[in-house]
Amino acid sequence: MKPTENPRTNTFVLANVRLVDPVLGVDGEREIWVEKARVRQIAPKGALTEKKSREASSLPEILDGRGLLCTPGLVDLHVHLREPGHEYKETIATGTLAAAAGGVTSVVCMANTDPVNDNPYVTEFILAQARTHGKARVYPVGALSKGLKGESLAEIGKMREAGIVAVSDDGVSVMNSYLMRKALDYCKTFDLPVISHADDLNLVGHGVMNEGVHSNALGLRGIPAEAEEIIVARDVALARLTRGRVHFAHLSCWQSLVHVRRAKEEGLKVTAEVTPHHLCFTEEDVQSYDANYKMSPPLRTRRDIDALKAAIADGTIDCIATDHAPHAPRDKNVLFEYAANGVVGLETNWPVGLELVAEGIVTLSKLVEIMSVNPARIAGIPAGTLKEGSAADFTLSDPEAEYVLRGEDLHSKSRNSPYIGKRLKGRVMATFVGGECRWQAE
Amino acid sequence: MKSWKNRSLIEARELSEPEIRAVLARAGELKKLWQGWRGSEFPHQSLRGKTVVNLFFEPSTRTRSSFELAADRLGAHVLNLSPEGSSISKGETLFDTAKNLEAMDPDLLVVRHASAGAPYQLSKIVRVPIINAGDGFHEHPSQALLDAFTIEEAKGGIKGLRILIVGDIAHSRVARSCIYTFRTLGAKVAVCGPPSLIPPSVESLGVTLDYHLHRAIRDADVVMMLRIQLERQARNTPGGTRANTQFPSLGEYSRFWGLNVETVKELKQGAIIMHPGPLNEGVEISQEVATGPYSVILNQVSNGVIVRMALMDLILGNGGRSA
């Protein structure tokens, strides 16, 4: 797979790929004609290449996809790019490079930077950095409250004008129900989803892992699943009261799913995401006080993993989002209770998703829905399909490639990944944004 | 059975019965030797030429002195370090300190830290054996071993005994280590205390649970009272102040879960009362009971030195040389 020889034109025909595009209802061999960064035509196998060999003329160069899998570029609704303010953990340049290496073409980035993205100037700064250094498209989330303090609303409208696609105090739960209600009301003007990081902070207390047998044995303070459930239930109630849009970040327990399922049956505007790590690991992995298993919400139990997978299958959960949270060794290589929450995820997301296909939880087409189509719809961004006229954002991968992940394989500035040393199946081979090859495997 | 030689002791949970028995047996021998000895230097100098570092990141008088005396009696050099300051608690400086100490070639680190897992994490980065002298709410295995030794001494054995642990089970490293050790040795363990101080999953440790002391105490052969640690109860409120949210007052705690002359009347003949110390007299235990005929609290203290001698002897000892 060679990048386009003349990337300025972003014009080529991609041949010999299996295209999976649920919006088009396609799963099969296709040829994709990209012209000036957009998809000009999706053609049956051989249609364009044979035409070119016959007429040897007007068609652009052919890129041979060698039987790779082609999907619309992945959309990640939950990423911490850390810039401005925490550039020692990640920058927009390194974070979007990690995204491209993971097949992600659109990154929705959280507001807990320093300064907080609670005003249009920070939003503009992020977008300017992304234009200059970004390997993937960047869509900022604006803070819900000024300074993430949970006291008064941030300048949501002005940030909307500057380019935010959602609001959230992610990282801190909005404990003030009145403020949450007002945010949901206010955001209706701009059709923005409010992303809820659901945690009852009083119940969380100083907890650092799931409460139960294991927290007890390790002598670590526990966080009951009910701390999440209570705020999920509250925000479902507020979605009913306001008719606003609530999107639940990183749900981790079966209890929360009960409320989301009921809210959807009721027709409320509620959507939900799950992280790859909450689908792979449990509280038992904390055994060795390894901070790469410390996250908020904490890793739960086997029962929760099963419930989360069932919720993906039945549509209660709309999408997988990584909650990519880069941290430097100085934040992680400390005593467990002081270690920062979160793990990087952009570069391991696709193999985890493919594992769901292998387990029979979802079809490949459904996987593309939950990793591209649905998150694009929730954030209201133009992505998730390669229908004619859309931006040529796509990912080429080899779903059969197996390898053991090494720290040095990661492109993120931080390597706080629980997948290091683990066997993964499925490798992203190349990522195109606007018809331009932004990353390709060696 | 895993040999004790050059081994770290981090958790009582990981100890098998023969491993515990080895410590108790050596403690018995050393106690006899100690009691029969009248000279200037203890004859069993098995740690001569060795260096033991007491690395205490949390204030402690009795545990630290106990380890210090134990090492001293066996002839080791003892270095006491109590680093202070807030940056140390997070771990970066802890690991740095430990690496620096390791470079000075000590033979054993005795570590106490306010964070669960600190000795375990240290044991992964230094090659020196480590004895956990208490980490957060996690474990305090040498305390459990000395308690088992004291129980056997007072009751002639431990297997089949009913042992009741009373108090703040949720925040007690002593309770955890004792539960594992006593159960491994075949005792029946029950816990008692206010439900707000008992972890919901406690029964998965193989113990029974009763919230009412006057009832729980009737069957017990051994009653172990835990210190109510006021500093562990307070929590930051949303208003920014610290408040006790786990039980209403010390007076109320004492009323329902304190051991006093009245509650002791429910005790079986021959039962013993223990306390890992330091005592809050008049809170979890009254002065009369602490010094009364059932109490073996001071035996725990003297046995503490003996059992720690046994541990260090097994881990580091060269067989002992007579003076």
Query: Based on the number of CB atoms within 10 Å of its own CB, is A352 exposed (0-12), middle (13-18) or buried (19 or more)?
Result: buried
* CA–CA distance, A153 with A198 (Å, rounded to integer): 18
Lookup: tokens for A214: 């294991």
Closest residue in B to A210 (Cα) is B201
What's B141-301's CATH class? alpha beta
CA distances from A44 to A38, A52, A128, B80 (A): 18, 14, 39, 78
Query: Domain residue spans in chain B?
Result: 12-139+302-316, 141-301
Q: Which residues of A touch B136 (CB under 8 A)?
A: 219-220, 337
Which CATH code fits B12-139+302-316? 3.40.50.1370
pLDDT of residue A5: 46
Mutation site for B-interface testing, chosen from A218, A288, A333 by largest number of B Cβ within 10 Å:
A218
User: Residue B209: what are its φ and ψ, rounded to 5°?
Assistant: -135, 130
> Rounded to the nearest 5°, which phi and psi values hold at A223?
-120, 115
Q: Which residues of B touch A212 (CB under 8 A)?
A: 200-201
Residue in B95, B116, B205 nearest the CB of A218:
B116
Q: Do domains B12-139+302-316 and B141-301 have the same CATH topology?
A: yes
Q: Cα–Cα distances in Å, from B99 out to A313, A343, B8, B83, B124?
A: 50, 27, 16, 14, 11
Q: Residue A382: helix, strand or coil by DSSP?
A: coil
Distance CA A6, CA A4 (A): 5
**Dihedrals phi, psi of B171, to nearest 5 degrees:** -110, 25
Query: What is the pTM (predicted TM-score) of this model?
Result: 0.93
pLDDT at site B92? 64
Collapsed DSSP state (helix, strand, coil) of residue A149: coil
Please name the residue of chain B whose CA is at the shortest distance from the CA of residue A217: B138
Q: Is B58 in the A-facing interface, judged by CB distances under 8 Å?
A: no
Q: Is A217 on the interface with B (CB under 8 A)?
A: yes
CA–CA dist A358, B198 (Å, integer): 42
Question: What average pLDDT does the structure give for chain A?
Answer: 95
Residues 282 through 301 of chain A touching chain B, CB cutoff 8 Å: 288-289
With an 8 Å Cβ cutoff, is A115 touching chain B? no
CB of B92 within 8 Å of any CB in chain A? yes
Residues 6 or more apart whose CB falls under 8 angstroms from that of A285 comprise A293, A299, A418
The pLDDT assigned to B318 comes to: 77
Q: Does A403 touch chain B (CB under 8 A)?
A: no
Which mean pLDDT values do the consecutive 10-residue runs of chain A (442 residues) have?
Answer: 52 95 97 94 91 73 92 98 98 98 98 98 98 98 97 98 98 96 97 97 95 94 97 98 98 98 98 98 95 97 98 98 97 93 98 98 98 98 97 97 97 98 97 96 88
CA quadruple A200, A203, A206, A209: dihedral sign: negative
Using CB atoms, pick whichever of B90, B91, B176 lies closest to residue A219. Answer: B176
Cβ neighbours of residue B239 under 8 Å, at least 6 residues apart? none
Q: Is residue A323 annotated as a catalytic residue, yes or no?
A: yes
The two three-digit tokens of residue A321, written as one number = 């989002």
- Calculate helix-pair angle for A254-265, A226-242, nearest 10 degrees: 10
Between CA B191 and CA B13 the distance in angstroms is 17
Minimum CA–CA partner of B125 in chain A:
A333
Among candidate residues A21, A323, A331, A393, the one labeled active-site is: A323
CA pair distance B132, B119, nearest whole angstrom: 6
Given CB atoms, is B200 within the 8 Å cutoff of chain A? yes
Whether the upstream peptide bond of residue B141 has omega within 30° of 0, thus cis, is no
Cβ atoms of B271 and B281 closer than 8 Å: no
CB contact under 8 A, B205 and A335: no
Residues A199, A228 contacting (CB under 8 angstroms) = yes
Which residue matches tokens 């609001």? A167
Residue of A nearest to B92 (CA): A334
**φ, ψ dihedrals at A391, nearest 5°:** -60, 140
Distance in angstroms (rounded) separating the CA atoms of residues A362 and A357 = 5
Contact A219 B202 (CB under 8 A): no
Q: Contact A246/A236 with Cβ under 8 angstroms?
A: yes
Q: Give the C-alpha separation, A55 to A69, whole Å.
A: 28
Burial class (CB in 10 A: 0-12, 13-18, 19+), B225: buried
- Return the number of other C-beta atoms located less than 10 Å from residue A64's C-beta: 14
SS3 of residue A348 by DSSP: coil
> Per-residue pLDDT tens for A381-422?
999 999 999 999 999 999 999 999 999 999 999 999 999 999
Write the residue in B89, B117, B204 that is nearest to A213 by C-beta: B204
pLDDT at residue B237 in the model: 56
- Residue located via tokens 């071993």: B145
Query: A108, A39, A26, A27: which is closest to A75 by C-alpha?
Result: A108
Q: What is the mean pLDDT of each run of 10 residues along chain B (323 residues)?
A: 94 97 97 89 92 92 95 95 65 78 93 94 94 96 98 97 96 96 98 93 93 95 90 59 76 94 93 94 93 95 98 87 43
Residues 135-174 of A with CB under 8 A from B: none
| Contact by Cβ (8 Å): A440, A411 | no
Distance CA B23, CA B308 (A): 9
Q: Is A221 within 8 Å of B137 when comparing Cβ atoms?
A: yes
How long, in residues, is chain A? Answer: 442
Asked if the Cβ–Cβ distance from B199 to A216 is below 8 Å, we say yes
CB of A222 within 8 Å of any CB in chain B? yes
Are the C-beta atoms of residues A100 and A393 closer than 8 Å to each other? no
Taking the C-alpha atoms of residue A259 and residue A434, their distance in angstroms, rounded to an integer, is 39
In the structure encoding, which two tokens stand for residue A7, read together? 């990337």
CB contact under 8 A, B115 and A217: no
What's the pLDDT score for residue A384?
98
Question: With an 8 Å Cβ cutoff, is A223 touching chain B?
Answer: no
Q: Catalogue the E-assigned strands of A158-281.
A: 166-168, 194-196, 209-210, 222-223, 246-248, 270-274
Q: Which residue of A has its CA nearest to B170?
A: A216
Q: Hey, is the C-beta of B120 within 8 angstroms of any chain A C-beta?
A: yes
What pLDDT score does A1 carry?
A: 44
Best CA proximity match to A185, nearest among A156, A149, A146, A148: A156
pLDDT of residue B243: 65
A57 touches chain B (CB under 8 A): no
Residue B287: CB atoms within 10 A of its CB come to 12
| Minimum Cα–Cα distance from A286: chain B residue | B117
The domains found in chain A, sorted by start residue, are 12-71+390-440 (2.30.40.10), 73-379 (3.20.20.140)
Say what the ipTM of the complex is: 0.89
Q: Helix (H, G, I), strand (E, B), or coil: what is residue A70?
A: strand
Contact B202 A216 (CB under 8 A): yes
- The answer to whether B179 and B189 have CB atoms below 8 angstroms apart is yes
